[in-house]
Each structure stands twice: as structure tokens, then as C-alpha cells.
Amino acid sequence: MGVVPKSKGRKPKPGKKNRPRTPPNTGGGRYRPGAVHVDEDEAFALLDRLIPEQVLTVGLPVWWLLLLPGKPANICLEGAFVLREAFALFGIDAKVKLVELIVRDTRTGQATQYGRPDPHFTGDQFRGHAGLWLPESKRFIDHSAQQFPPVRAVSWMPVSVRATSLGVTEWSAQRFGVPRGDHLMLEYTPVDDTILPAIMNNSTLAEHMDQVRRAGVNLASNLLAALRLPKLRERALASPHERLHRLLDLVGDADLINDPGQDHRFLVSGHPGGIYLDEIAATLPG
């Protein structure tokens, strides 16, 4: 989530070089995050093109969006924790990270601040922006980037990028830029990690963490079921994620059903009423 409308940068003077960047607009207006939009054909085409290493690191945030069409797009904080839970089931450590975000149009120099350097709750509204950092693969994910109007105009897809390609090797206070389309630069500045506990302890989030955890299990279950399709299964088994391989083996071709609360269960042998994926994962070492 974030604030402020698009700024009005000045046009460069003819012949002027090395013009200083226009400071980001940090006015008090509100942008319109809209609803989650996903082009399903484009999404499935992307999943078909993923290399094995990306089956989860790109596939999970894409699948998260596929399950949310029409929902409010500004759910970065809740979504980060849902994805964290889903990644954990596959044995991937994912850290929720608060970030300041400036979206800059490289053609005009116009810049707008969305994520804040001082994220906080105002009532039940989160003011700030959150993403995920995967320490093992050095990957940064902005799963809800489409909520920001100039980004949404370019693409609905989540950001999932190897930070090493941007010159970032460890998570720190270092700002880094992620190109988007042919004219946007998404400039992320990590926010001090010491702020996160206060955000997590806010009742707006804390009182719903059980639902968030179940949503993460449902997300992982749904993607796992999809990865059994022959073309995707081949890539999943070629991925470096051993836990994913084991889970595919354990669920086999079991049907995925919903319990009365709409949580997913796999109808594996020996469990007539079905079993949740986190219960299956708990039987695995590590």
C-alpha cells in the first residue's frame, strides 16, 4: 500500500545533460490500487516457460495472484505473510521485508513515492509496502507491484528478480532498482528490520495470523496440485527443491478437496477425510 498521486516532473531543457533527478512526489493524496487483475492466458504461458529454478520462486507469487482476481490489490503485507507460509512448506526460507518504493519514469524523470520509510498502521490501514527476500537464492519478490497505477499500466505480473543481477548480494539498507517495461524504474530502499515486530504485533494483523497461515497452506496445496500436470511436473522434479519433490511423491494423484471451511485437503490413502498439506509436510525431515 502507499500514498500520493503521480507527480508532475519538469521537462528537460534542450541540450541539458546530467539533469538532477526530480525529487519524488510525497504529497498527501491517495492513489487507487484497484482490484487484482490477472491475464490467465499470459500467466499460464509464463508458467509453461519457467525454468526449473523458477517453478516456486516465480510460480508461487504468480499463482497467488491467479487465486485473487477481483480482490483489492493493496494487500502487500498480508500477502507477504501468506507467501512466507507457502514457501516454508516447500523448504524455502522467505523473509518479509518492509521497503520504501519510488516509481520513476525514466523518460520524464517523474517520480512518485509509494512505499514509505516509516511504515505504520493508521487505524486498520497499513501505510507502507512489503515484499519478500529469499536469502538462499538472493531473490527479491514484490508480489503486489500491480497495485501502483504506473506499474499496473505496464504489467500485472509480480516482481521476482535475482538481486545479484542488480548488484545486491545481501539484504541491507542499500537501494536497488528494478526495471519494469521500457521506461519505469522501481527503486526499492529496505526499511530497518527493527520496525517489523511492531507491525506484526498490530492487532489488525496479529488477530488474523491463523487465517493467514491457512491461506498459505491453501496456496501451496493449490500450486502443488497444478504442478502434477505432466509438463509442469517435469520442471518441478528438475528444480533444486528436494522438499517439493517429496511432496509431489507423497500426494501422488490424490484428489484435492475442500473441507467445510474451504481449506484444501488431499485425499491420500489412509486418510478417508483427507489430510492438509502442512500435516503431510510435518512428516518430512527438516
pLDDT given for residue 167 in this prediction:
86
pLDDT given for residue 34 in this prediction:
85
- pLDDT tens-digit series, residues 191-242: 999 999 999 999 889 999 999 999 999 999 999 999 999 989 999 999 999 9
pLDDT given for residue 169 in this prediction:
87
The pTM score is 0.89
Tell me, what DSSP letter sits at residue 5? P
pLDDT given for residue 26 in this prediction:
57
CB 90 within 8 Å of CB 243: yes
The helix-helix angle for 59-66 and 40-49 (nearest 10°) equals 160
- CA–CA dist 227, 181 (Å, integer): 29
Q: Which alpha helices (H) appear in the chain, and where do they start and end?
A: 40-49, 54-57, 59-66, 76-89, 149-152, 196-201, 203-206, 209-226, 230-238, 242-251, 277-281
- pLDDT tens-digit series, residues 55-107: 999 999 999 999 999 999 999 999 999 999 999 999 999 999 999 999 999 99
Average pLDDT over residues 177-182: 95
Give residue 4's pLDDT band: very low, low, confident or very high (50, 70, 90).
very low
- CA–CA dist 75, 78 (Å, integer): 6
Question: Where are the domains positioned within the chain?
Answer: 1-251
Total Cβ atoms within 10 A of residue 279: 13
Total Cβ atoms within 10 A of residue 162: 15
Mean pLDDT of the residues in the chain? 89
Burial of 191 per CB tally in 10 Å (0-12, 13-18, 19+): buried
Q: Worst-scoring range by mean pLDDT, 24-33, 34-43, 121-130, 251-260?
A: 24-33
- pLDDT tens-digit series, residues 18-57: 444 555 665 433 688 889 999 999 999 999 999 999 999 9
Cell numbers 538462499 correspond to what residue? 136
Q: How many residues does the chain have?
A: 286
Q: Which residues contact 54 (CB under 8 A, 6 or more apart)?
A: 160
CB 22 within 8 Å of CB 10: yes
Output phi, psi for 21, to 5 deg.
-65, 140
pLDDT given for residue 248 in this prediction:
97
pLDDT given for residue 231 in this prediction:
87
Q: Which alpha helices (H) appear in 96-201, and where do they start and end?
A: 149-152, 196-201
